[in-house]
Structure formats: structure tokens, C-alpha cells
């Protein structure tokens, strides 16, 4: 009888060790895609580099959910996730914008790329060292994956539609710096971690989802950039609106 109990306990321990591997594998996959995006950017394969960053965002969203579902959260996993985010959503977008067109603009080009990487690192360091992780409803500052998605979709659209003039490049630099500053700001963004998929929703929510999915299939670049940019811009506009009317 005791032998059976010991065998069962050993199986449970092995199962737990195996479950811990799953979120870590997803995190490493996200890091690999970020690294692959850097290589593709250096080789001039802009479309491949953009796809790698976007798929890395999917893996990044899955690893945390899998860890929570399987109750396998750990300090090691949290630190590994931050390092993967720095590679996939800090270094990869910085290399992408630099080798897209910024490389031809000297110090200004690499300085903007450095701002993207630095603000991502500061955003992650502040998240790990503060009590922000305890608040599940809001993030302080724009989340790194959303910032990377905005920059990636913008560069992908400019590359695909041939927008490479000085006007578009300088406008892209302004957007990149603006998004980077939003990451290190104190503006609160909704995290949607408290969203319950099991609760009942209105029929119109399903229709809106189908409509958005159709648009995403037809115009993926435009939809990705517009939705994420509106998400990033909505909160600052709301803050300015409240400050203005309070002063009134």
C-alpha cells in the first residue's frame, strides 16, 4: 500500500515538472521568434521580421495564461518572460525600424531605435520591481507587446505600400518615440486579465467580433495598426480631456 502511494506521489511530481516546461517552452518560442526577427531585419526581409514579432506576441500571451490555468506560476517563469519580452518586443522592433529606413539617417536613426529598446527595458524593470503585478485590471504604461505591434504594423504597412520618402520616415520616427514614451508613462491601460470568457455576452458582441475578424482577414496591416494605435491613444486623450475640464 505504501509503495503504491509513493509511486503515485512520484507520478504527481513528474507531472508537475512536466507542466512547468509548457509555459517555459512557450516563452522560449517567443524569444526565438524575436531573435529570428532580428536576423531577418538585418537581411532586409522586412515581411518575415514583422511576422516573427506578431507571432511572438501570440506565444507571449499564451505562456502566462497556460501558467495560470495549470497553476505553475513561478519567479523563474516571470523573469524568463521579461527577458523574452525584451528580445521580442524591445530589440526586435528596434532592429526592424533601424534596418528598414532609419539606417540611412545617421545618428538620428540609431538614436530612435535605441529609445525603443531602452523604454522597453525600463518598462519591464519597473513592472518587475513594483506592485503593478498585483493589480490585474490595469497596467501602468503601455504594455510592450502592444507597443511592438503598433511599430511593427506601421513599418510593415510602409514597406508594403512603398512609403519610404523622408516625410514618412520622419513621421515614423515621431510615432516610435511617442509609443516608447507611452511605455514608461504612468497612464493606466486596461489589461483585460479579468475578462471572463465563460460569462454571457450580448449577441451584438458576437457580431462585432465577426465584423472585426472579417476586416482583419481582408486588411490585416491596417486593422492591426488602427486597433492597437487607438488602444494606445485613447487613454492619453481621456487623461487630457479630464484635466482640461477639471481646470474649467
Among the ranges given (50-59, 106-115, 176-185, 227-236), the one the predictor scored with the smallest mean pLDDT: 227-236
Confidence (pLDDT) at 22: 78
**Pick from 153, 179, 143, 56: nearest CA to 100:** 153
DSSP run (H or E) holding 189: strand 188-190
The reported pTM is: 0.83
Q: 111 and 57 in contact (C-beta within 8 Å)?
A: no
Q: Does 8 have pLDDT greater than 60? A: no
Alpha carbon distance 30, 33 (integer Å): 5
Model confidence at 243, in pLDDT bands (50, 70, 90)?
confident
Distance CA 141, CA 122 (A): 11
The larger pLDDT score, comparing residue 7 to residue 233, is at: 233
Instruction: Single out the residue of 75, 111, 86 nearest to residue 35, CA to CA.
Output: 86
pLDDT tens by residue, 164-209: 889 999 999 999 999 999 999 988 887 766 555 566 667 677 787 7
pLDDT at 66: 76
State which CATH number among 1.20.120.1760, 3.90.1150.10, 3.40.640.10, 1.10.10.10 fits the domain covering 2-247.
1.20.120.1760
Tens-place pLDDT, residues 24-57: 888 999 999 999 999 999 999 999 999 999 999 9
Q: Can you tell me the mean pLDDT for 79-83? A: 89
Q: Quick one: how far is CA 155 from the chain centroid?
A: 16
Amino acid at each position: 500500500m505504501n509503495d503504491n502511494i509513493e509511486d503515485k506521489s512520484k507520478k504527481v511530481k513528474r507531472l508537475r515538472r512536466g507542466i512547468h516546461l509548457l509555459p517555459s517552452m512557450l516563452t522560449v518560442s517567443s524569444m526565438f521568434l524575436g531573435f529570428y526577427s532580428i536576423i531577418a531585419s538585418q537581411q532586409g526581409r522586412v515581411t518575415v521580421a514583422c511576422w516573427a514579432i506578431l507571432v511572438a506576441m501570440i506565444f507571449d500571451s499564451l505562456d502566462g495564461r497556460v501558467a495560470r490555468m495549470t497553476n505553475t506560476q513561478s519567479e523563474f517563469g516571470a523573469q524568463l518572460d521579461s527577458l523574452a519580452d525584451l528580445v521580442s518586443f524591445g530589440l526586435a522592433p528596434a532592429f526592424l525600424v533601424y534596418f528598414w529606413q532609419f539606417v540611412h539617417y545617421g545618428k538620428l536613426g540609431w538614436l530612435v531605435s535605441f529609445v525603443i529598446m531602452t523604454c522597453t527595458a525600463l518598462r519591464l524593470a519597473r513592472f518587475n520591481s513594483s506592485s503593478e503585478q498585483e493589480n490585474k485590471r490595469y497596467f501602468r504604461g503601455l504594455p510592450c507587446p502592444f507597443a511592438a505591434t503598433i511599430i511593427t504594423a506601421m513599418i510593415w504597412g510602409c514597406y508594403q505600400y512603398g512609403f519610404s520618402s523622408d516625410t514618412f520616415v520622419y513621421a515614423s520616427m515621431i510615432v516610435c518615440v511617442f509609443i516608447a514614451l507611452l511605455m514608461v508613462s504612468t497612464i493606466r491601460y486596461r489589461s483585460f486579465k479579468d475578462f471572463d470568457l465563460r460569462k454571457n455576452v450580448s449577441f451584438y458582441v458576437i457580431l462585432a467580433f465577426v465584423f472585426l475578424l472579417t476586416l482583419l482577414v481582408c486588411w490585416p496591416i491596417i486593422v492591426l495598426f488602427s486597433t492597437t494605435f487607438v488602444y494606445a491613444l485613447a487613454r492619453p486623450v481621456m487623461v487630457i480631456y479630464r484635466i482640461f475640464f477639471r481646470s474649467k
